[in-house]
Structure 1
Amino acid sequence: MNNYKITGMIPARMGSKRIIKKNVRYLGDKPLIQYAIDLALGNESFDSVWVNTENDTLGEIAQRLGAQFHKRPDELANDSATNREFVNEFLLKHDCDYVVMVNTTSPLLRSETIEGFINYIKKNNFDTVLSVIKEQAEIFFEDKPLTFSLKEKINSQLLPPICKVVWSLTAWRREHFLSMQARGENPVFGGKLGLYSIPKDESCDLDSEEDWRIAEGTLRARHELHQSKRYFE
């Protein structure tokens, strides 16, 4: 297994519009941003964990919780800023072999999933690793079937799986990302690409109030399951 230097980076803005100030809003018993920080700090493979934000309040929260504060420029804090831009700015200032982006909008991730993701990086030689969920379903693009034939109906478990990118966890090799960016190429999907499948119940991406309710329900169900297991032990 490769002994890479891996840095954890948690992107967080204060100016979210679809869910107002979602990173400091409480989900269950703690603010949303704390889920990603706790998850990253709980993994010993990271040489350091940084919250990448323009906001001093978020930076102070990150430091109180044990992470470090990388203050991104204000021009990379608006809705039009892309992960290509703020990841590039971060990598120019931090030395590592890989950066792993842990999204605050994925609070349902479990520790064993991020451990498996990092081991996948260490065992391979990818330039980019994307987290995905695999689904077997009848999929259309516009009016054309992609994964099945209209001439027959077969059970979904026999269909070829599709991989949906969920952005819960993403890794980039620093050297390759920066070199592609310098050439004016898009490094987000660049180089040798690895796809790491995560459980579907961990892939919820909090972009709307509906997503928030789904996450609340899942966390509540996990807590009740944990309590019932303790009761029957």
Structure 2
Amino acid sequence: MAAGERGGHLAALVLARGGSKGIPQKNIKKLAGKPLIGWVLRAAGDSGVFDSVWVSTDSDDIEKVAKDYGAQVHRRSAQVSKDTTSSLETIQEFLKYHPEVDIVGNIQATSPCLHPEDLMRVVDMIRIDGFDSVFSVVRHHLFRWKDVKTTGGLTAPENFNTACRPRRQDWHGELYENGSFYFATAELIKQGYLQGGKMAYYEMKPEHSVDIDIDLDWPIAEQRVKRFGYFGKNNPKVIKLLVCNLDGCLTDGRVYVNQDRELISYNLRDFDGIKMLLERNVEVRLISERNLSSSLLSSLNLPCKIEVNVSNKQQAVERWMAKMGSSWDQISYMGCQYSDVECLKLAGTSGVPADACVAAKMTDSFVCKYGGGYGAILEFAEHIISLLENLGSH
């Protein structure tokens, strides 16, 4: 710690009560394949700026998920687990049991697009710039009108002139709290404040400012997360190759057999997904452990290479990587079987269909809504493309 910097124990704290009126079990409901709370816990852990990461909960189910994501758990009391309990009261109770904590970063579980970089910058504001409290905001360009629903009378504009409505590009907009996080010193919180002392805001990007409160927010948040969310430390700088298990990803895993030959089927939507990647210079290769006949392979009429009778998928992928001069962080891998697990762990971007085996789903991969043979490859291809577009915009 450099001279003049604020020291002390900095704890990330996520409040996650078990009871949710709007969306049952909201905090651990799956969003884009991950428990909602998992998105912010991963961002907090990967930021590397916290001395400890905690979840305050009254739920056994939430406790298990929290521990799965590497967080410690504070079992809050019934007194601070009511519908009427404020965040401040819950944080104050946490501090009573954890006097070693000097600064609290209260991170909202329902802000799944939070990125580690945001947390790192905020901690610098606390540690280096000496702010006592920092909270997140987002900039909106919204015209406000006087509310006359209860008072009656005529409405009037409150932040603009109707005779000279500003264009968006000529107006800086206004800052609104988005609730993503509130950092404050323990001393300030004990006095009854989350915002106070030497105070500052941190402006988040609009695309990262996502909040989930009611059911209608869920599908919108899911699409935003898939495009702008944080997917871990291994986010690729470039994606050169997608390797996909043919059996159970391109197909639904079933084989149709008659006396002459076997037949398999695939979804034309997945064919479109493969073409979309090829058009963006991402090579696609399919892989299978089975010894499929050349006549069957040619009948598939797929625009990519297929390698069959592969006993060791990792060795096969690494052989291709060597020829391409690429590394694992430039590889996307989609699998569904136990034999795919190691490749899913190594790949910079990995995905699994909805009906993949448990071991494959536990590799922290992107979990598709669709099963193998029912559009999973298209869904994962769209995810890869969104990552590439997001990288290109930086």
Task: Please show how residues 17-32 of structure 1 align to structure 2 within 5 Å.
Answer: 17-32=21-36
Given that 2:126 and 2:133 are in contact with CA atoms closer than 8 Å, whether structure 1 keeps it comes out as no
1:50 aligns with 2:54: yes
Aligned equivalent of 2:133: 128
1:199 aligns with 2:211: no
Shift of 1:188: 2.8
Aligned equivalent of 1:219: 225
Aligned equivalent of 2:277: none
- 1:6 and 1:76 map into 2 onto residues whose CA distance is 22
User: Deviation digits for residues 49-100 of structure 1, max 9, x if unmatched?
Assistant: 0001111221232123211011110121121110111011112222223100
Comparing both chains, which one has the higher relative contact order based on Cα–Cα distances under 8 Å and sequence gaps of 6 or more? 1
Q: Which moved more, 1:94-103 or 1:117-126?
A: 117-126
**Identical-pair percentage:** 29
Give the counterpart of 1:7 among 7, 11, 18: 11
Given that 1:137 and 1:159 are in contact with CA atoms closer than 8 Å, whether structure 2 keeps it comes out as no
Scaled by the length of structure 2, what TM-score is found?
A: 0.53
Aligned equivalent of 1:184: none
- 1:29 and 1:68 map into 2 onto residues whose CA distance is 22
Aligned equivalent of 2:107: 102
Aligned equivalent of 1:162: 174
Cα pair distance change 1:144/1:84, threshold 3 Å: farther
Partner amino acid for 2:223?
G
Aligned equivalent of 1:68: 72
Partner amino acid for 2:13?
M
Task: Please show how residues 145-160 of structure 1 align to structure 2 within 5 Å.
Answer: 145-160=157-172
Given that 1:11 and 1:103 are in contact with CA atoms closer than 8 Å, whether structure 2 keeps it comes out as yes
User: Deviation digits for residues 117-139 of structure 1, max 9, x if unmatched?
Assistant: 22222232222211000223322
Aligned equivalent of 1:33: 37
Q: Secondary structure at the match of 2:88?
A: helix
Aligned equivalent of 2:119: 114
1:82 aligns with 2:60: no
Q: Secondary structure at the match of 2:111?
A: coil
Partner amino acid for 1:153?
R
- 2:20 and 2:104 map into 1 onto residues whose CA distance is 24
- 2:201 and 2:156 map into 1 onto residues whose CA distance is 25
Which ranges in structure 1 are unaligned for 5 or more consecutive residues?
Answer: 182-186
- 2:173 and 2:387 map into 1 onto residues whose CA distance is 31
Scaled by the length of structure 1, what TM-score is found?
A: 0.88
Shift of 1:200: 1.0
Cα pair distance change 1:81/1:191, threshold 3 Å: same
Partner amino acid for 1:22?
K
Q: Secondary structure at the match of 2:181?
A: strand
Shift of 1:39: 1.1
Given that 1:148 and 1:159 are in contact with CA atoms closer than 8 Å, whether structure 2 keeps it comes out as no
- 1:57 and 1:150 map into 2 onto residues whose CA distance is 52
Q: Which moved more, 1:157-166 or 1:135-144?
A: 135-144
Q: Secondary structure at the match of 2:101?
A: coil
